[in-house]
Structure 1
Amino acid sequence: MRGLRATAHRFSVPLDHADPDSVLIEVFAREYTSLEHGEEDAARLPWLLFLQGGPGGRGVRTTHLSGWMKAAARKFRILMLDQRGTGLSTPADAATLAVLPTPEAQADYLAHFRADSIVADAELIRRRLGSPPWTVFGQSYGGFCTLTYLSYAPEGVDRALITGGLAPLSGRPDEVYRATFARVQERNDEYFSWYPEDRDLVTRIARHLDDVEERLPSGERLTARRFQIVGSFLGGNTRVHGLHYLLEDAFTDTADGQRLSAAFLEQVHGIVSRASHPLYALLHESIYCQGFDSSWAAQRILAEYPQFRDDAPDVLLTGEMIYPWYFEEDPALRPLRAVAEVLAAKADWGPLYDPDVLATNTVRAAAAVYRHDIYVDRGLSLTTAAAVRNLQVWETDEFHHDGIADDGEAIFERLLSMTRRGAEA
């Protein structure tokens, strides 16, 4: 590939790292190095582990080095992990979970797919690679995992870099979703100030979906509330403007009057379907749970924000929140509805962070906090940052949640420089 070499790695790891008799699953990782380094020189470079967003997202696939990877490959061998259950790792989806006899058994299995297990996998992999403590770079949910790493295996981390991913260390997800709904409304207002013609268009699409049966390419009817998910664009830095391009494709004239175009429905399907990443829907709320249940937090908090109802006079777009009706309307999720209910009621989730360890952290760490991030709230992020010793914060309004997709090279270099030895803590 252009300017890089890619090497596949496969590791057998226990499903439950605390149980020596646990069944084994496979975790896949891909090593990326720059051709600027010869093979022997590349093999001597230190490792950088990248933990991607999610939960349930596979590692980045690339055919050339650009952005943060271009910057990182100058100094590191990049290990791109397919976190357990994703990508080429042993899958966790409707087909594979169906072999387990009950929704409760499926939930017990999936309880081993959170940040604590991902970190245990990473530590086992680091040792098998013979690597000394490595640099860990976490984006979004990958930042949550990095905080778990600093809590339970700090001896494996040389330095930690986090972008848009400082999780609350305690508390229920309710607080997270209250902040999220407020931020998403602000972002809706901002978007419609740029594209006022889209204000009425969004409501028009929603009302059309109430009255006319429009079907996605996978066959199911598109509802107004599922259409609202296209608000995921709002979390983007420059990607937000792609929402306008999506909406301008909405209607087309037909013999039966105006209908939603095939091009629009195809694009919407790619946004609202969880077929390629069901773990996101199954585990999303659990990433905030430690010793309590989520009880469908986003759905409960939505009741406090009636302006986000799909029948509101001016329909707002939502985004990454997960609701129980997803498991009715998305064909990929319908077989998982029962286990989703068990997971939402599960109250015995283990801890994900150790506040005492984080308060005495000695690992060099730096985090980018995006002031207007609609998914990882600035205020909650800064509260977490204050609780982690030796963590330096770069707060900026230049980027939104996916900042590394826009100027990853500069963001990575800045965070890396903040963790140089001798830098002020």
Structure 2
Amino acid sequence: MTVEYHLPGIRVAERRIDVPLDWRADTDAAGTIELLVRELVDPDRARDDLPLLVYLQGGPGGANPRPLRRDGWVDEALRDYRVVLVDQRGTGGSTPLEAVDVAGLDAAAGADLLALHRADSIVRDLEHVRETLYGGRRWATLGQSYGGFLTLTYLSQAPRALTACYVCGGIPGTPPRAAEVYARTFDRVAAKTAELYRRFPGDAEAITRIADRIAEGDVVLPDGDVLTVHRFQSLGIDLGMKPGHERLHWLVERAFARPGRFSEAFLADVQALSSSAGNPLFWTLQESIYGDPGSGATAWAAQHERDRRPEFDEDRRPLLFTGEMAFPWMFDEVRLLRGFRGAVHALAERTDWTPLYDAERLAANDVPLAAAVYFDDMYVDAGLQLDTLSRIGNAQSWVTNEFEHDGIGSGRTFTRLRELVRDRGGEKR
């Protein structure tokens, strides 16, 4: 059944399709899950034979955007494409995977279930959607952040399905090495914290007062979780976005209702920003995206790197924030993540990873690939991106410091990537 409706400047059609939970197993034994497929098109071109563009959402564990209006990259894309949004398995309107689904399993079984939500399975899902709902028509991809990781898996597994690939801030280092990623990104987030203190000179003292009060150990969030300093530090994940410094500054400004007492608004905001309510798989799958044959266990690589850096200790002042880094404490302290605890610890020790990237196929790639590399990217290191791109056939990069990691929000970013592909002959048809 297709459900159709309109948003401002957009005609929307929604369909649902079943896929195997485990593409490697017998479907009857493993069962199926459901995917939500949402298609966007310009209302005036709904009957036109437009090329397809499938959007690959960032994450891991991120649902597709829910447009409110026609703007940004969506506006640019709808001028020429029929846009396909497939909520990745476990997210959004697709069959969800939450802590309650894992809590009743033993650790090994839970880790196996989580591993079925990695990039190789997502690409198999997309191929099933393309072949079943779109008659096998080739399509272009637009990947944001982790969507770029998915792009390289797609180019490794099914390049004939693709006419072109566009990536914004999301080319992974290959072969993936979690330890190398965090060795670089801790430096990045330290620099972003220093930038916060330079831009807002009063924030260092204000954040010291906040951290000192939290360290007393009796601050409780509205959901009952005890707020710790390292949970407060994790709010630094926003510092890599264009307005991230401003958002953190305004959060700090309203921290105290009275001396020594946090405002209810501050505590509610901290809970919302750190509870994982909207995306429980983000932290749960965070290090598994670097698991690949030969890479070994990820083994809480971010925690090991943090342990090497005393400047990130909770009692250091001025306080340094952390970024896109999963830590074991999250699965003890965050209510909505506790059910994943055994499974995520087992996943961290896994070594028998399914392959994500085919180095030989990527080197021989002939599908046009254009990537925006954000020079100051806090999440996906620019140096690692450029190193990988140097070993992929038919790849182009646009290195810029005009945008932060959320640069895709400007339609100009996608426009520039399309120009790069167009200048070298255009998309494959």
Give the TM-score normalised by structure 2.
Answer: 0.94
Inter-partner Cα distance in structure 2 for 1:107 and 1:171: 20
Counterpart residue number, 1:411 = 413
Counterpart residue number, 1:56 = 61
Q: Deviations over 1:312-337 (max 9, x none)?
A: 13211112210000011100011211
Q: Deviations over 1:238-265 (max 9, x none)?
A: 3331111111111111xxx431111111
Inter-partner Cα distance in structure 2 for 1:264 and 1:388: 46
Counterpart residue number, 2:189 = 184
Counterpart residue number, 1:314 = 318
Secondary structure at the aligned position of 1:363 is classed as coil
**Cα distance change on mapping 1:212 and 1:342 into 2, 3 Å:** closer
Counterpart residue number, 1:348 = 352
Inter-partner Cα distance in structure 2 for 1:299 and 1:235: 20
- Tell me, yes or no, if the aligned pair for 1:52 and 1:141 is still in contact at 8 Å: yes
Aligned AA (1:110): L
Pair 1:116 & 2:120 matched: yes
Inter-partner Cα distance in structure 1 for 2:396 and 2:12: 32
Inter-partner Cα distance in structure 2 for 1:380 and 1:90: 33
Counterpart residue number, 1:287 = 289
- Tell me, yes or no, if the aligned pair for 1:3 and 1:36 is still in contact at 8 Å: no
Inter-partner Cα distance in structure 2 for 1:24 and 1:211: 48
Q: Deviations over 1:127-185 (max 9, x none)?
A: 11214210100000011000110111101110000000010111420000010000111
Aligned AA (2:372): A
Q: Deviations over 1:161-215 (max 9, x none)?
A: 0000010111420000010000111111112110010011112111110125222
Inter-partner Cα distance in structure 2 for 1:363 and 1:176: 27
Task: Indicate the larger mover: 136-145 or 233-242.
Answer: 233-242
Counterpart residue number, 1:270 = 272
Secondary structure at the aligned position of 1:211 is classed as coil
Inter-partner Cα distance in structure 2 for 1:118 and 1:339: 20
Pair 1:17 & 2:23 matched: yes
Inter-partner Cα distance in structure 2 for 1:125 and 1:284: 25
Counterpart residue number, 1:31 = 39
Counterpart residue number, 1:358 = 362
Deviation at 1:107, TM superposition (A): 1.2
Inter-partner Cα distance in structure 1 for 2:314 and 2:118: 31
Pair 1:245 & 2:253 matched: no
Deviation at 1:120, TM superposition (A): 0.8
Counterpart residue number, 2:4 = none
Aligned AA (1:183): R
Deviation at 1:98, TM superposition (A): 4.1
Pair 1:300 & 2:337 matched: no
- Tell me, yes or no, if the aligned pair for 1:230 and 1:271 is still in contact at 8 Å: yes
Inter-partner Cα distance in structure 2 for 1:414 and 1:308: 38
- Tell me, yes or no, if the aligned pair for 2:102 and 2:339 is still in contact at 8 Å: no
Aligned AA (1:265): L
Counterpart residue number, 1:196 = 201
Inter-partner Cα distance in structure 2 for 1:119 and 1:359: 19
- Tell me, yes or no, if the aligned pair for 2:87 and 2:93 is still in contact at 8 Å: yes
Q: Deviations over 1:329-370 (max 9, x none)?
A: 100011211111111111111211001000000001100000
Q: Deviations over 1:66-106 (max 9, x none)?
A: 1000000111111112100001111111222345x422112
Task: Indicate the larger mover: 64-73 or 105-114.
Answer: 105-114
Structure 1 residues 159-178: aligned runs within 5 Å: 159-178=164-183
Pair 1:40 & 2:44 matched: no
Inter-partner Cα distance in structure 2 for 1:18 and 1:212: 47
Inter-partner Cα distance in structure 1 for 2:300 and 2:274: 19
For structure 2, the 5+ residue unaligned runs are: 1-6
Inter-partner Cα distance in structure 2 for 1:98 and 1:28: 25
- Tell me, yes or no, if the aligned pair for 1:132 and 1:156 is still in contact at 8 Å: yes
Deviation at 1:402, TM superposition (A): 1.1
- Tell me, yes or no, if the aligned pair for 1:281 and 1:322 is still in contact at 8 Å: yes
Q: Deviations over 1:366-407 (max 9, x none)?
A: 0000000011001111101101110100000111111112x2
Q: Deviations over 1:6-64 (max 9, x none)?
A: 11121111112223434211111211112232x312xx211110011100111110121
Q: CA RMSD in A?
A: 1.5
Inter-partner Cα distance in structure 2 for 1:422 and 1:139: 22
Give the TM-score normalised by structure 1.
Answer: 0.95
Structure 1 residues 380-391: aligned runs within 5 Å: 380-391=384-395
Inter-partner Cα distance in structure 1 for 2:227 and 2:331: 14
Inter-partner Cα distance in structure 1 for 2:192 and 2:247: 14
Structure 1 residues 80-229: aligned runs within 5 Å: 80-98=85-103, 101-128=105-132, 129-211=134-216, 213-229=218-234
Aligned AA (2:40): Y
Inter-partner Cα distance in structure 1 for 2:239 and 2:155: 31
Inter-partner Cα distance in structure 2 for 1:360 and 1:418: 19
Secondary structure at the aligned position of 1:333 is classed as helix
Secondary structure at the aligned position of 1:136 is classed as strand
For structure 1, the 5+ residue unaligned runs are: none
Between the aligned residues of both structures, percent identity stands at 43
Aligned AA (2:14): A
Counterpart residue number, 1:65 = 70
